Amino acid sequence: MNLSVKREDLVDYELGGNKWRKMKYNLEAATQQNHNTLLTFGGAYSNHIYATAAAGKRLGLRTIGIIRGEAHNPLNPTLQFARDCGMQLEYLDRTRYRNKTGPEFIESLRKKYGRFYLLPEGGSSTLALKGCAEIIEEIDENFDFICSACGTGGTLAGLISGLKAQHKAIGFAVLKGGGFLSGNIQNFLQQANAESSASWQIKTDYHFGGYAKTKPELWTFIEQFKKDFDIPLDGVYTGKMFYGLFDLIKTGYFPKSSRIIAIHTGGLQGNLGFNKN
Ligand SMILES: *Cc1c(COP(=O)(O)O)cnc(C)c1O
């Protein structure tokens, strides 16, 4: 058995990880359409909010972040960073947040902020798949399995779209009730016209209680992983994926000669919100 890690986290601390891959072609489209403003949505610790703010600052684009829930002062490290990058923050209560993609609400945002390029929550759009497929192109060793953490499934869909028939993808759901992910991924692939002959499946048993929920056992694993391999993991996504992956290896899931690639999708900024870094 051979396990390699594709370190997307090392591409760039602020922009690194899958959120940058997902944004890349969206930013290109925004520029082509002469937009000077990006508007997007996210939770208060969102890696996507963080990366959008960083990208906006570097590219000289105005950014607006619609944040789920109430404002808290002082700002948490994620939102403080976003604001330092110049992002305008607006808070939306949870009920209204759920309906944030309705045409009336979007229209009210346009009235308020003027013309903007809309990035969906988590950055998962058709164009995001194309950016994530490029992760596969950069892998120059042969492999049988590719592994990634799944939130919306957009990243895994993009990875799948870049795979060949002999490859298998495994997604690790970081939310409770990850059964919805298979349908999501199928939809993403269809919308992007990016069907693939590779097989894939989602593991739903490694969510540790739900999205952004953790247990001491997970932090122990993350600390040991850092000691053993000198690779930092985050508590929301990559920690859960590697925990699950190691469990599958231990329980004999993989044939002996398997070559596995795990994608480190970044997200390390999120550890600051848990007072871990
Ligand atoms: C957002 C995120 C994911 C999940 O990506 P999806 O495309 O929503 O499935 C995985 N890892 C990290 C570090 C992330 O920030």
Domain CATH number, residue 86:
3.40.50.1100
Does the Cβ of 264 fall within 6 Å of ligand 1?
no
pLDDT, average across residues 171-199: 95
Nearest to 50 by CA among 59, 40, 60: 40
Q: Parallel, antiparallel, or unpaired for β 117-118 and 145-150?
A: unpaired
Q: End of a domain among 88, 123, 158? A: 123
One domain for residues 143 and 267 = yes
Rg of the chain over Cα atoms, rounded to whole angstroms, equals 18
| Atom 10 (ligand 1) nearest CA | 149
- CA–CA separation, 249 vs 226, rounded Å? 19
Residues 81-102 have pLDDT tens digits of: 999 999 999 999 999 999 999 9
Instruction: Find the domain containing 49 and state its range.
Output: 18-123
pLDDT, average across residues 107-131: 94
Ligand 1 centroid – CA 265 distance (Å): 7
One domain for residues 29 and 79 = yes
- CA–CA separation, 57 vs 15, rounded Å? 11
Total number of domains in the chain: 2
Does the Cβ of 124 fall within 6 Å of ligand 1?
yes
One domain for residues 159 and 106 = no
The overall average pLDDT reported for the chain is: 96
pLDDT over 90 (residue 195): no
- CA–CA separation, 25 vs 161, rounded Å? 16
Q: Parallel, antiparallel, or unpaired for β 259-264 and 2-7?
A: parallel
One domain for residues 222 and 188 = yes
pLDDT, average across residues 232-255: 98
One domain for residues 250 and 238 = yes
One domain for residues 132 and 157 = yes
One domain for residues 119 and 145 = no
Contact 12, 116 (CB under 8 A): no
Question: What was the pLDDT predicted at 10?
Answer: 95
pLDDT, average across residues 232-260: 98
Q: Which atom of ligand 1 is nearest to the CA of 122?
A: 8
One domain for residues 50 and 162 = no
Q: End of a domain among 84, 104, 123? A: 123
One domain for residues 262 and 132 = yes
Element containing residue 217 per DSSP (H, E): helix 216-229
Q: End of a domain among 71, 99, 123? A: 123
Tell me the one-letter amino acid at 250. Answer: K
pLDDT over 70 (residue 37): yes
What is this structure's pTM?
Answer: 0.96
Question: What was the pLDDT predicted at 58?
Answer: 95
- What is the number of H-type helices and E-type strands within the chain? 10, 9
pLDDT over 70 (residue 277): no
Question: Ligand 1 pocket test: which of 18, 127, 245 has the largest number of ligand atoms within 8 Å of its C-beta?
Answer: 18
Ligand 1 centroid – CA 123 distance (Å): 9
In eight-state DSSP terms, residue 210 is: S
